[in-house]
Amino acid sequence: MGKTKINESFKRVKDRNEKAFVPYIMAGDGGLEVTQERIEFLERCGVTAIELGIPFSDPVADGPTIQAAGIRALQQGTTLAAVLNHLQAHPREVPLILMTYFNSIFSYGIEKFVQDCDEAGVDGLIIPDLPIEEEHLITGELGKKDIALIRLAAITSPEDRIKEIALRTEGFLYAVTVTGTTGSRTSFHDNVETYLSHLSQSCSVPVLAGFGVSTPDHVRHLTNYCDGVVVGSKMIELFQQRQFAEIEQLVQSAKDIHTLN
């Protein structure tokens, strides 16, 4: 299904006058069976899509919480091949997006990676260390399988760069709301509202705010200016603490009807 599955999921959210909620979890953190339990729980919560991180030894975009989850997953023996094999054996209703670094893809073999993603039912990819100048290394293969390449926009990027990223992105645009790496925060960049509003006006696909989103108040505030949120570090923390009710509350906070303040 690929891009079509992602697009349909976002359309259903919009038709219900809700906002999108995409949680991030680390594949293999606690083992792949635990990952499967978390995917099934998030599906029951009614998330829009799930972003599944692949553990990597040098995760340049990740803050301490996600780095620690990646280390735990690597210690469990989690590999990219094992994750794709597991996903192929466990189909899902909700769109699934892999977040991985390009070194892992290159080592795996680009053509084989895309083929195995397709067979595993992967609908989209986020590759944070792949600049748009180098995307040609993989976009041809992704186009054959209709797998979305979801781009990230930085709040510090110049206007021409943001326009090009917004034009190229598929599925949704991942709007980074802070400077630095991932992790729960109490505040965002001073210009975040203007930045998100501008992206939403200039992008033909949904815009989701990510990095630092950790409370229902964050979700409700940021989604006044964009189409939804990605929640990563806080999601990992809540699963570690077995705070399932709090996870449900976070997801539910995106389902409220929103009006621009």
- Relative to beta strand 96-99, strand 148-149 is unpaired
Please state, as a whole number, how many other Cβ atoms lie within 10 Å of the Cβ of residue 189: 17
pLDDT for the residue numbered 60: 65
Whole-number Cα distances in Å, 199 to 84, 166, 191, 221: 33, 8, 12, 16
User: Does 216 fall in a domain?
Assistant: yes
If you average pLDDT over residues 165-186, what whole number do you get? 76
Q: Please tell me the pTM assigned to this model.
A: 0.92
User: Does 110 fall in a domain?
Assistant: yes
Please state, as a whole number, how many other Cβ atoms lie within 10 Å of the Cβ of residue 47: 25
Lowest mean pLDDT among 105-119, 165-179, 234-248: 165-179
Catalytic residue among 18, 29, 62, 116: 62
For residue range 41-95, what is the model confidence (pLDDT) as tens digits?
999 999 999 999 999 887 666 678 898 999 999 999 999 999 999 999 999 999 9
Q: How far apart are CA 98 and CA 26, in angstroms?
A: 10
Residue 181 has pLDDT above 80, yes or no: no
When mean pLDDT is compared over 59-68, 167-176, 178-187, 191-200, the highest value belongs to: 167-176
Supply angle C-alpha 108, 76, 152, rounded to 5.
Answer: 50
Active site residue 51: yes
Residue 13 has pLDDT above 90, yes or no: yes
Supply angle C-alpha 250, 98, 55, rounded to 5.
Answer: 95
User: Does 261 fall in a domain?
Assistant: no
CA nearest to 124, candidates 94, 96, 159, 144: 96
| CA dihedral sign, ordered 106, 88, 36, 146 | positive
Residue 139's domain spans which residues? 3-253
Number of domains in the chain: 1
Residue 110 has pLDDT above 70, yes or no: yes
CA nearest to 10, candidates 164, 208, 149: 208
User: Does 82 fall in a domain?
Assistant: yes
Whole-number Cα distances in Å, 50 to 132, 136, 186: 23, 25, 24
Give the mean pLDDT of the chain. 91
Q: What is the DSSP string of 165-176?
A: HHHH--S-EEEE
Q: Return the CATH number at 36.
A: 3.20.20.70
Residue 185 has pLDDT above 50, yes or no: no
Residue found under tokens 């998330």: 47
Phi-psi category of 66—alpha, beta or left, where left has phi over 0 and alpha has psi -120 to 50? alpha
188 pLDDT band (50/70/90 cuts)? low
Cβ distance 91 to 211 under 8 Å?
no
Residues in CB range of 81: below 8 A, 6 or more apart: 108, 116
CA nearest to 212, candidates 231, 226, 225: 231
User: Does 259 fall in a domain?
Assistant: no
157 pLDDT band (50/70/90 cuts)? confident
DSSP state of 87: H
Q: How far apart are CA 140 and CA 150, in angstroms?
A: 15
Catalytic residue among 51, 116, 170, 227: 51
pLDDT for the residue numbered 261: 43
